[in-house]
Amino acid sequence: MLPPLKPIAIKERISLVFLERGELDVLDGAFVLVDKNGVRTQIPIGSVACLMLEPGTRVSHAAVVLASRVGCLLVWIGEAGVRLYAAGQPGGARADRLLYQAKLALNEEARLKVVRKMYEFRFKKPVPSHYSVEQLRGMEGSRVREMYVQMAQRYGVKWSGRQYDHTQWGSGDLPNRCLSSATSCLYGISEAAILAAGYAPAIGFIHSGKPQSFVYDIADLFKFETVVPAAFRIAAQNPVDPERAVRIACRDQFRETRLLKTIIPTIEEILSSGGLPVPETPEDCLPPAIPEERGLGDAGHRT
């Protein structure tokens, strides 16, 4: 049997680490990235919320097991983060939380309340109570376009709108590439927090029909306060490697704002606005997937 582990609370973790061109494995009970020359780089997996795996990365079965046991999300992404292909769920989901989230999304009145709360959180002001979800989306679109224009003016960046082809990374101009890299960072830690709290990334309220719909909902709550300013600031500097510069800027932004400490309480606040009672945890329910200061029990069987 594997000994119990005591994961670090997610709010105290490093937000994310990018890995490329190497094999992720477990040696002597620790995570290491081994490159083609056999050089080993140790990774403090227990204190990382999310590992972003770029092309050229291979992951051993032992590494996936360890990541699951310590509650670290593995996310497979495209080069420079332009695509998010798949994610490995850390720990177990909370059935009661999933049912609660689904009920909110399927109840039109409750869903509208949640959507309205999301927009109020983003724009720091009340929204028209008689607007439908579609009308709120339209209002959001115009405000977001204006915010991009204002951000470009602040940093002196030439801006022609949010235009890019996600299948061709080089097709976008520098500001758009910086924005795509920045938002991929935010999506990674947002999904890590959503899964850690026991919710489903696919059950969204504003966004729908995609595997990360709820991720986009939650990431949008923080986007213009964190990664968007960082992306425009880096674009204004015109660095040789803008994607790397954006990642570093986002990493520093996440640390300064203590974003991981904020996301899960915000999710709870947003969903509670739907007006449906939060179900009590059944006695036979799996324990919370949120990393806590206690052991997880034996591998394959939670106690």
CATH code for the domain of 250? 1.20.120.920
**Which H or E element spans position 65?**
helix 61-70
Domain count for the chain, please give it.
1
Q: Is residue 85 part of a domain?
A: no
Q: Is residue 268 part of a domain?
A: yes
Q: What is the CA radius of gyration of the chain?
A: 20
Which string of b and e fits 239-258 if b means at least 16 CB within 10 Å?
eeebbebbbebbbebbeeee
CB of 289 within 8 A of CB of 119?
no
Integer Cα distance of 185 and 295 in angstroms:
29
Q: In 3-state terms, what secondary structure has residue 245?
A: helix
Q: In 3-state terms, what secondary structure has residue 254?
A: helix
User: According to the model, what pLDDT value does residue 284 have?
Assistant: 56
Q: Is residue 293 part of a domain?
A: no
User: According to the model, what pLDDT value does residue 293 have?
Assistant: 38
Integer Cα distance of 258 and 236 in angstroms:
25
What range does the domain containing 178 cover?
95-272
User: According to the model, what pLDDT value does residue 93 have?
Assistant: 59
Q: Is residue 115 part of a domain?
A: yes
Q: Is residue 61 part of a domain?
A: no
Q: Is residue 237 part of a domain?
A: yes
User: According to the model, what pLDDT value does residue 90 have?
Assistant: 59
Closest by alpha carbon to 175, among 190, 195, 192, 154?
Answer: 154
pTM over 0.85: no
Which string of b and e fits 129-147 if b means at least 16 CB within 10 Å?
eebebeebeeebeeebeee
* Token pair listed for 295: 């052991």
In tens digits, the chain (303 residues) has pLDDT values of: 344 455 555 556 666 788 888 899 988 878 898 888 888 888 887 777 778 888 889 999 988 888 877 878 888 877 655 566 777 765 555 678 888 999 999 999 999 999 999 999 998 888 888 888 888 888 888 889 999 999 999 999 999 888 776 666 566 789 999 998 899 889 988 887 888 788 889 999 999 888 889 999 999 999 999 999 999 999 999 999 998 899 889 888 887 888 878 888 899 999 999 999 876 766 655 444 444 433 333 333 332
Closest by alpha carbon to 199, among 135, 266, 283?
Answer: 266
Q: Is residue 13 part of a domain?
A: no
Q: With left for phi above 0 and alpha for psi between -120 and 50, is residue 9 left, alpha or beta?
A: beta
Q: Return the amino acid letter for 275.
A: G
Q: Is residue 116 part of a domain?
A: yes
Long-range contacts of 43-47 (CB under 8 A, 24+ apart): 43/17, 43/19, 44/14, 45/70, 45/72, 46/5, 46/7, 46/8, 46/70, 46/72, 47/8, 47/12, 47/13, 47/14
User: According to the model, what pLDDT value does residue 83 have?
Assistant: 64
Q: Return the amino acid letter for 120.
A: E
Q: In 3-state terms, what secondary structure has residue 33?
A: strand
Closest by alpha carbon to 230, among 216, 257, 250?
Answer: 250
User: According to the model, what pLDDT value does residue 112 have?
Assistant: 92
